[in-house]
Amino acid sequence: MGYYSYGLPPFVVVVIALYILLTGSGEAFNVGRFLEESSPYAWAATGIGLCIGLSVLGAGWGIFITGSSILGGGVRAPRISTKNLISIIFCEVVAIYGVIIGIVYSAKLGEFVPEAHLYTRENYFTGFALFWGGLTVGACNLLCGLCVGITGSTAALSDAADPNLFVKILVVEVFGSILGLFGLITGLLMVSQASDFSAASSLASPLVSVA
């Protein structure tokens, strides 16, 4: 059954692609034309959505990994429950990074530019920068949330075994939380050269050319 569910969709896609290619319509696979004709607003908005979405996903994932360990360890050692909330806060900070970058990126969207004046080099650049910047920040925050969650769970269970271990394992967690910070730095650097979306002075559209 795995052959039909995993193999059939790629096979259908390959057959259709080969048909298009071998019957003279190979020009349809024009990556450059796709990138030129897709709206920069689409790329920018997708990036902002991914940024906040993936960051919050990472924060939530870390919180439930840590939280379940704290609550489980707290059954036999209730003293750990208040001190280990700091691991939850480390995970929450990751979501805050995503919100900050989302707000900074949203400011770049600027005022609405009509479709006929949208497709300038600067607007393409800003659209791509916001997409990949948002994806970078979101993915780095996702991984940071996971890292802090796993090490926070480790810290909680070590604290339950021996109270002196908590501060030493917390050092590992601090090393994990710098991942989100690096993602934030990279995201800010990526859009530093991107200007706001602005209208072109004359007609600027990939579908209509001015002779």
Partner 1 sequence: MSLYPPYPPFFGFAGVASAMVLSTVGTLFGTAKAGIGIAGLGTFKPELIMKSLIPIVMSGIITVYGLIVSVLISSALTPTFYPLVAGFIHLAAGLACGFTGLTAGYTISVVGDSCMCAYVYESKVFASIVLILIFAEVLGLYELIMALIMNSKVMGLEVC
Residues that bind partner 1 (CB under 8 A): 32, 35-36, 119-122, 124-125, 128-129, 131-133, 135-136, 139-140, 143-144, 146-147, 150-151, 154-155, 157-158, 161-162, 164-165, 168-169, 171-173, 175-176, 178-179, 182-183, 185-186, 189-190, 192-195
In the complex, least distance from residue 185 CB atom to partner 1, rounded to whole angstroms? 7
120 contacts 204 by C-beta, under 8 angstroms: yes
Closest CA to 69 of 143, 142, 151: 151
Nearer to partner 1, 12 or 185 (CB): 185
Nearer to partner 1, 84 or 120 (CB): 120
In the complex, least distance from residue 183 CB atom to partner 1, rounded to whole angstroms? 7
152 contacts 69 by C-beta, under 8 angstroms: yes
CA 86/CA 92 separation, integer angstroms:
10
CA 167/CA 145 separation, integer angstroms:
19
In the complex, least distance from residue 130 CB atom to partner 1, rounded to whole angstroms? 9
In the complex, least distance from residue 112 CB atom to partner 1, rounded to whole angstroms? 20
Nearer to partner 1, 56 or 123 (CB): 123
CA 101/CA 137 separation, integer angstroms:
8
Closest CA to 149 of 72, 102, 91: 91
In the complex, least distance from residue 81 CB atom to partner 1, rounded to whole angstroms? 18
Nearer to partner 1, 56 or 129 (CB): 129
SS3 category, 177: helix
Dmax (CA) for the chain in angstroms is 79
CA 120/CA 107 separation, integer angstroms:
19
Nearer to partner 1, 56 or 177 (CB): 177
